[in-house]
């Protein structure tokens, strides 16, 4: 209860400061609209459905691309960690591509796939895949060998060892890699949406972009708030349960 109060007080305080700065009249209301103006925009955008539609378009791209990236990155990371050949080839490639900011994939994606969903998905997958792959690879390499030895004495081998020992044992690495992949994917998708108009659907990035074109700062700030909110929500829904489990089981830190 006390925690909730503190959180509410903190954010109410922020809005209060915002309101106070507006009231002081230092900047023109065109550049810095009042909280209420932004609220009014958001309310209108909710009512006419534009916000929900954009959020849905963006989330769909993100979730599908992210899922594909994880589904590819997880087994590939397991393989590169277990095979020297793959580590020398795919592993090095992944390391190189991971250093490439994923927004750099946008021009290539546009030329390959056009202004379409496929281009957006491609950018998100590229943002996710390499960091997940490297995190899993790293996790498996840092595994104490005693776990696999102990599992072998208990009759575990082959795929069972991979699924029931190696994968769960590297879970702390896997989760942090997936979180990093998520952050990369989210950033690159936003950049891509602001950067180019995708004909198959308007995402939150486009809404933000239109806000700028129309000089409507209430829309710009409103959409930014929604983007922050979605990021926060994703963290709480997708990663918090895993992190809580890790803290609880491994005893690494207090959640």
What is the binding site for another protein (CB under 8 A)? Answer: 144, 146-147, 149-156, 160, 164-165, 168-169, 171, 248-251
- Listed residue (148, 171, 170, 172) closest to 160, CA to CA: 148
**Least Å from the CB of residue 253 to another protein:** 11
- Listed residue (228, 252, 230) closest to 242, CA to CA: 252
The span from the CA of 30 to the CA of 125, in Å, is: 38
Contact 97, 130 (CB under 8 A): yes
**Least Å from the CB of residue 178 to another protein:** 16
- Listed residue (237, 238, 236, 255) closest to 246, CA to CA: 255
Nearer CB in complex with another protein: 174/217? 174
**Least Å from the CB of residue 251 to another protein:** 3
Nearer CB in complex with another protein: 90/167? 167
**Least Å from the CB of residue 128 to another protein:** 24
Nearer CB in complex with another protein: 122/173? 173
The kind and range of the H/E element at 172 are: helix 171-195
Nearer CB in complex with another protein: 85/250? 250
């Amino acid at each position: 209860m006390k925690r909730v109060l503190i959180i509410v007080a903190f954010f109410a305080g922020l809005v209060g400061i915002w309101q106070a700065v507006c009231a002081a009249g230092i900047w023109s209301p065109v550049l810095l609209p009042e909280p209420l103006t932004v609220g009014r925009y958001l309310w209108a955008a909710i009512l006419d459905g534009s916000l929900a539609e954009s959020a849905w378009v963006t989330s769909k791209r993100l979730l599908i691309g992210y899922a594909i990236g994880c589904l590819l990155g997880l087994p590939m990371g397991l393989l590169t960690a277990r095979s020297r050949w793959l580590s020398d080839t795919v592993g090095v490639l992944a390391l190189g591509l991971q250093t490439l900011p994923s927004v750099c994939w946008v021009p290539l994606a546009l030329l390959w796939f056009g202004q379409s969903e496929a281009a957006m998905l491609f950018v998100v997958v590229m943002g996710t895949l390499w960091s997940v792959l490297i995190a899993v690879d790293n996790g498996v390499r840092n595994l104490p060998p005693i776990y696999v030895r102990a599992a072998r004495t208990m009759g575990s081998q082959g795929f069972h060892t991979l699924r029931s020992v190696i994968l769960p044992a590297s879970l702390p690495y896997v989760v942090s890699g997936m979180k990093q992949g998520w952050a990369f994917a989210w950033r690159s998708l936003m950049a891509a949406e602001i950067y180019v108009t995708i004909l198959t659907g308007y995402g939150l990035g486009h809404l933000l972009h239109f806000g700028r074109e129309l000089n409507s700062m209430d829309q710009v700030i409103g959409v930014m708030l929604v983007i922050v909110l979605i990021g926060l929500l994703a963290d709480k829904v997708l990663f918090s349960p895993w992190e809580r489990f890790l803290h609880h089981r491994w005893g690494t830190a207090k959640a």
